[in-house]
Structure 1
Amino acid sequence: MQCSSTARPAIRGGHACQKAKVVASLLMLVALLGCVPRSDLPLTELLPGVAPGIVTLHAVDESVGSGFLIGDGLVVTNAHMVARGKLSVTFHDGHKARWQTLITDDRLDLAIGRVEHGGAGRLELRDQPPLLGETVYALGNPFGLGLTVTRGIVSAEARAIGGEQRWQTDAAINPGNSGGPLVDAKGKVVGIVNARAAIGSGIGFAVPVASLRELLQGVESAGQ
């Protein structure tokens, strides 16, 4: 930047130039900050993109669980839901379909199934693990009441529960949430809800997405 000492005779040229540079730098910083996009979506904007990918599962023993779409006709839930017997799937639009198990892993407590109706939405899996204290949302069908969202944080780094890693969250988890997604503020899945503490409150657990990716490799290798 070129400065002229004739702009304000009362100020020495060097000081005037320095002041002008500072002002220009501040203006540039403000402009750059104004162009930085928001990475997190307000909940009211996040839900319309996520809700169509959530499903409800009904077992023959009348128990209710949750799940979510990850691809064309592919649904994720917990293995302990599949263990309850024949399942039916209800989509966000009310359409119903039969569940066909592709792969299940009791150790991971995960299952992937195929349904005829692909559904109107699908959820994206997050590549990076969530951070301690990061805001997360649990979506599912607690007590069979219908789609419900609760907010919390990742309240502890991955813990070994039953020999397997689990994210801990204080988002409200209730019967019927099993198999539903735990998503970040962008709507990306960071875990699959599978348990809560039997005593006390505010202690829920979710299977890390890394475990789901492990199971997906089994589906792909089998050509399913």
Structure 2
Amino acid sequence: MSNYQLTEAIERYLSGEMSGDERAHFEQMRKDNADIDNKIAEHLHFTGLLKQYRERIELENKLNAIHNEMDIHSLVEEMTIHPSWVVQMWRNHHSKISVAASVAIFAVLTVMLSTGFFKKQPDVQLLSREMEKIKRSNAALTHATSALATEIHKKSLGPGNYSGSGFALSSNGYIVTNNHIINGNSSKSPDSIYVQDALGNAYKAKLVYSEPKYDIAILKITDDSFEELPALPYNFKKGKSDLGEDVFTLGYSEGDAPVMDKGYLSSENGRKGDSTGYRISIPVNPGNSGSPLINSKGNVVGIISGRQTQVEGASYAIKTGYLYKAIQNVPLDSLSGKLSLSNKNTLAGLSRVQQIKKMKNYVFMVKVY
């Protein structure tokens, strides 16, 4: 079955258009094939993101429409003659006024009150001064609306709008995650990428390079508000890790707080003997893709890439040796700063709790739109 046919089948399956026999056959395929099951999950997640994006755009359009329809001069005149009009307007239209628009109106009224505009001013010369105050009030409204739009944009990136995890390659904003998070099954580049840290700060990012055969993608934070991170506390292991070695991961599998899961390396190869990855016994969940796999000494040994649906707790990670290879393939003209992996490790000898405290500020939630 081609990718196009599979996508069409998934859409028919999720929309309930399949007959009983078709649905039973497709559900059996889903149980037997982990890739199909993952594709269904990714399809559901993608359609959810589209819905969230559409709702955000509709909210912004409503706010813009409210702002454009407001006539400040008529509003001032009406309130000056009939102050009770504000109360009446609220009674009649409060269900239609969003919280954001209410805050904007409050900003205008506060400025008017502080300037004494509601006092009677018979002097013509003073009237001209009052007009200047109205202009400032209008400017305050515009500023408040703009600030609210920014806040709405940040809130749209809140819990539930993520598609995976990633972690810092360097202190100057380079981040590694999975290629399937950024590009999915499409060759088309995403419209926008954001990363969010453990404090809830969201930053715009761009795709610098992707290596589909290793399922690796390298991002760069481009947001002006991003401040360079302190030196990374972990390094990246080039050699192979040992069977049975204790490992743990830190990623965004639940909400906007990083989650730690631990286990051990159960195979030196990945799915179906894939030599580019490890099989690990860690109960990872959706959202863990792109998380770092760390050993007890604080070395990053892999990048979480998926899980086996038929076997409880069986997951997979890409070996960091292939991360080195991907970085070597990055075109120099696509870099906007030095990209070199840390060779220093300050996590060795620390307890697991201390290691996580140091690491959590270097692990990000990755959101793709």
Q: TM-score, normalised by structure 1?
A: 0.67
Candidates 178, 187, 197, aligned match of 1:78: 178
Of 291, 315, 322, 1:204 maps to 315
Structure 1 window deviating more from structure 2 (173-182 vs 156-165): it is 156-165
Distance 1:198 1:208 in 2: 21
1:141 to 252, 262, 274: 252
Q: Write 1 or 2 for the structure with the bigger share of strand.
A: 1
Distance 1:170 1:124 in 2: 22
Partner of 1:212: helix, strand, or coil?
A: helix
How far apart, CA to CA, are the structure 2 residues paired with 1:152 and 1:88?
A: 30
CA-atom RMSD, angstroms?
2.3
**Pair 1:170-2:281 in alignment:** yes
User: Within 5 Å, which residues of 2 pair with 1:38-117?
Assistant: 60-61=49-50, 62-71=161-170, 72-83=172-183, 85=190, 86-116=192-222, 117=226
**Equivalent residues of 2:194, 2:204 under 8 A apart:** yes
Pick the aligned partner of 2:302 from 187, 191, 198: 191
Describe the superposition over 1:149-188 as per-residue Cα deviations: whole angstroms up to 9, x where unpaired.
1111101112355955210101121100000100011221
Residue ranges of structure 1 left out of the alignment (5+ in a row):
1-57
> Quick one: which amino acid aligns to residue 165 of structure 2?
S
Which amino acid letter does the alignment assign opposite residue 202 of structure 1? G
Q: State the identity as a percent.
A: 28
Distance 1:79 1:176, change over 3 A: same
Q: Secondary structure at the match of 1:139?
A: strand
Measure, in 2, the Cα distance between the counterparts of 1:162 and 1:221: 33
Distance 2:306 2:237 in 1: 21
Q: Give unmatched runs, 5+ long, in structure 2.
A: 1-44, 51-160, 185-189, 336-369
Distance in structure 2 (CA, Å) of the matches to 1:81 and 1:205: 15
Deviations 1:85-114 (A, max 9, x none): 322100123221112110001111100010
**1:168 and 1:203 in contact (8 A); partners too:** yes
Whether the 8 Å contact between 1:138 and 1:183 is mirrored in structure 2 is yes
Counterparts of 1:16-55 in structure 2 under 5 Å?
none
How many residue pairs match? The answer is 167
Cα deviation 1:184-223 (Å, max 9, x = unaligned): 1122110000000012211000000011101111226446
Q: Distance in 1 between matches of 2:271 and 2:263?
A: 20
- Paired with 1:126 and 1:184, the residues of 2 have a C-alpha distance of 10
Answering whether residue 239 of structure 2 is matched by residue 128 of structure 1, we say yes
The residue type paired with residue 199 of structure 2 is D
> Contact conserved, 2:264 with 2:280, CA < 8 A, in 1?
yes
After superposition, give the CA deviation of every residue in 1:125-147 in whole Å (9 maximum; x if it has no partner): 11322100000001101133521
Partner of 2:269: 158
Inter-CA distance 96–175: structure 2 relative to 1 (3 Å threshold): same
Larger Rg: 2
Amino acid at match of 2:237: R
Q: Is the 8 A contact 1:91 1:119 kept in 2?
A: no
Separation in structure 2 between the aligned mates of residue 169 and residue 65 of structure 1, nearest angstrom: 19
- Kindly tell me: are residues 162 and 155 of structure 1, through their superposed partners in 2, closer, same or farther at Cα, counting changes over 3 Å? closer
Counterpart CA distance in 2 for 1:104 and 1:145 is 25
1:104 maps to a residue whose letter is: S
User: CA distance change for structure 1 residues 64 and 223 in 2, over 3 Å: closer, same or farther?
Assistant: closer
More helix by share: 2
Equivalent position amino acid for 2:246 in 1: T
